[in-house]
A and B are shown apart, each in its own frame.
Chain A
Amino acid sequence: DTGVSQDPRHKITKRGQNVTFRCDPISEHNRLYWYRQTLGQGPEFLTYFQNEAQLEKSRLLSDRFSAERPKGSFSTLEIQRTEQGDSAMYLCASRPDQSTDTQYFGPGTRLTVL
Chain B
Amino acid sequence: LAKTTQPISMDSYEGQEVNITCSHNNIATNDYITWYQQFPSQGPRFIIQGYKTKVTNEVASLFIPADRKSSTLSLPRVSLSDTAVYYCLVGPSYNTDKLIFGTGTRLQVFP
Q: A residues touching B (Cβ–Cβ < 8 Å)?
A: 2, 4, 31, 33, 35, 40-45, 48, 55-56, 91-93, 95, 99-103, 105-108, 110
Contacts and interface: CB of A to CB of B under 8 A. Distances in A.
A42 B41 contact: no
A103 B42 contact: no
Contacts of B101: 41-44
B11 interface: no
Nearest to B94: A102
Interface of B: 41-46, 85, 87, 93-95, 97-104
A4 B44 CA distance: 12
A93 B103 contact: no
B82 to A, nearest CB: 18
Given A40-B103, A42-B104, A44-B101, A100 B41 contact: no
